[in-house]
Chain A
């Protein structure tokens, strides 16, 4: 998933960038609201973590501006005060959940995952599509109970396609899921990865849930639940 982290404290920003990256997310970590607004206009994000105590444009104003720009991704706020005034204002202005500083990364991760699941319409931490079962906690794909042995990148692509089942996902979006914006991107890599993924899925009774929509991207045709 591509996440936006807006935190002015460099060390904490770096910590979130590293830890979330380790969890398989592609992280856009910025220090202020202006940069965050630029990033959301340029890239597609699946979730944002926003500190309320930002310098300049406050975290609350940033959330309002994001919502006014029709950005519907879930927003998790980080608050230092932790009082209900801040929480209510943050949630009323468009955030979906909050974490009070200092926090344990596991708590933040649990809340992030819950928001991501919710935003793609899944309450459980597993997604089922025919014989395929995706365990988002273990970052594992199973067919008929047997692990598919996916690489980290293959898993990310499969999870993204399954979360957005019945929707055409552009190739560029999938690239964003794999690489941070400042890394060199090669569109052919996606084709190679999707090809490998298809082969692994087909190896099980010819299961073909991924279709190519010419000139637009990929479509996960199987209904997920």
Chain B
């Protein structure tokens, strides 16, 4: 049995019924993970005995009569989540042998629900980036077009048919962009819904934990497992507000979807056409559509970059070789800090650390940082106004095809690619990426953005919409659930 041909829900069902042994499945998955990793560079580390022990523990629980929602489901975990059994490298050679002393809250919950960690997935240095081009082991290749990047290694692990679920992080859009490039489903939950305890964040305002899956039906199950109040992450107090929010919808005829008529940011014509076609396909279900205005989308992107850099410059200070990371020996403490931090940070993480400090310094603070905070207020108001006219927003995910794996894109191209993903990042709204077709054989997704804390409503609508915009999961061999 191959994990890509059936959904996580079906795997759990078969394991719970005793029709499939988790250990048998995971043995095959680990073998496939090694094979695909050699081709696509998906994992930083692949579990061996640890995964088999977890799978055996799941089988024992099932035999003792316990039913688990994710029994035996092969899980990929991004390498910025703490997991005791494998190194957490944060995309830095200075952390290559760092085994955390505890599991992230999300990892703990997924394992308790029966999921089995297959490996830690490739990551940009310090988790900053959406293409893995800043990873010390090089970029993860797209299973659909290996000359190009996958965007997110977790999405690649799904599309390559290794895992059925991927635990991922998202600040500027890595989770959603990877899902779009690899033809899988990616959920960025509302801010505060999922604990970030044990997630090595670089931006307190924007980093969130989310999940990706090959089948949309698996996202609500996974969200139910990982969401909840956690006293170790005060932001999860928001979870308590969910009680009064809209839940599942079975009737799409009352649904109104907002969309942007003019897509800013030089989106290629074929992508525009695909987006419009998707909108029309959804409208054909009887869903209402209304044009909404998001006047300051380009400025939102710039405000995001300034705030994210400022926050990274502060957050990444902890990787100094004394508190975290392997120290580079030096004659005095100041030099030890400087050498260690230079060895630890590279690419965008290094740039953000220095530019973020500049934005927080005299001269940069008033001009850039304070202005960015005001534009953040404006962005929230524009999104709130849009949601007064509609239930969900439909937006593209990315402007262009995935970057070439051998390329060195200029920074403006890297930043501009986040144009459509940063609004939900800035406002705390949930967003789900759905495969909507392909261009030249490379999948293209769209994202539905929901009202804050209405994740269940968003996902139920997404599950109903999916069949009309995509005929099958976009894993390499497709297949039904």
> Do these two chains really belong together in a complex?
no
